[in-house]
Amino acid sequence: MVIKPMIRSNICINAHPVGCAKDTARQIAYVKAQKQKRGTKSVAEGGDGPKTVLVLGCSTGYGLASRISAAFEYGADTIGVSFEHEAQEKKGGTPGWYNNAEFDREAKDAGLKTLTINGDAFSDEIRQQVIAEVKNWGRTFDLIIYSLASPVRTDPDTKVQYKSVLKPVGSEYSGPSLDMMTGKITFTSASPAEGDDIPNTVKVMGGEDWERWIKQLSEAGVLSQGCRTVAYSYIGPKLSHAIYRDGTIGAAKKDLEARAHNIDAALKKIGGAAYVSVNKGLITRSSSVIPIITLYLGVLFKVMKARGTHEGCIEQMERLFAERLFTGPNSAAGTVPVDAENRIRVDDWELDPAVQAEVDAIMPTVTESNVNETTDLAGIRHDFLNINGFDVDGVDYEKDIADMRLID
């Protein structure tokens, strides 16, 4: 069959196998080029960077980019966990399933050990499987990336399922929303949180599960001396705080950041550390449906590209690893620059006051008639399609796909 993007309300509900694989390969190629540019030595070349890495939420976005950076710049062996729908001959899989397949293929070709576990990373069963696998390797983890994002989580102790919601707190939030495919601008609203919306969202998207992972890995004796762990967060500009930073998801992110201090204290016993990395805003499957965010990102990308400071997932994570985490001699773990809350800030270029002032000046001027001039509409549309393997260079989208399991 010929596969075209199926889009419903700013959500793409299908994926292109070859496109997903090629975009993963593009990210790998970028990291390899950066390795040469920076002169980074891999483990096999005598480098002292990460050797055995666990990535929780490894299949897309920042998680995938982190796994690629660890493997293809530093030569780390990796275990990744994500929950994907597996492709069948006549039925497509999720984008992450294809991304994982391409990562595993290229990692094996590079002589790296790789294991991708398809399952619920919130469950103790998956935790025990990871522990058993790394012990089977005869290894311990020196880096753990926590990049999980999910609408639901089942508490391992009570078996109660919790659902997260994206809502403001206290009052309704309204703002302009940009349709990336048509360029149309509409005003959308989000009703305020009610009932248990806030604690339920914290239960799913907060730091409880991250803390549980580190505790069980520590008790199992599979953390290396000096082990570090990093989770990801977002703050964003003031104009989005009502729907994000001060909303239900923001409450979860604040819980994540608070628990990072607990994890950090626990890891200090083995010379390790825990950090939250605050990253730049990007087009993702979730950000695409948040009021005002697509319009903001369209303007932001326009401004940052003109300044030469725009980054996608892979550029951001490669910079996080090379300029924040592994800055010591011979790419060893170095002193990490942090803010007053012990957070790593790689949103520094986005929140540059000059960038934000320019964005603030442009935002009120955007209309449907000038949207192509005032925003990077083509760029955010490309990123949106790219997530699901569409609009990827070098892919023949008219070619018949006879077997949806194949990524060539």
Which positions are annotated as active-site residues? 244
CA distance 260 to 52: 21
SS3 224: strand
Identify the residue whose tokens are 């018949």: 400
Strands (DSSP E) found in 46-113: 52-56, 77-82
SS3 87: coil
CA distances to 23, 304, 350, 351 from 308, in Å: 22, 6, 12, 15
Tokens of 189: 């609203």
H/E element, 175: strand 173-178
Half-sphere exposure of 69 (CA within 13 A, CB side): 26
Identify the residue whose tokens are 């995938």: 64
Chain-centre distance of CA 198, in angstroms? 22
CA distance 218 to 213: 8
Other beta carbons within 10 Å of 114: 19
Residue in 199, 211, 85 with CA at minimum distance from that of residue 156: 211
Tokens of 328: 């010591």
Other beta carbons within 10 Å of 356: 16
1 has which bridge partners?
A: none
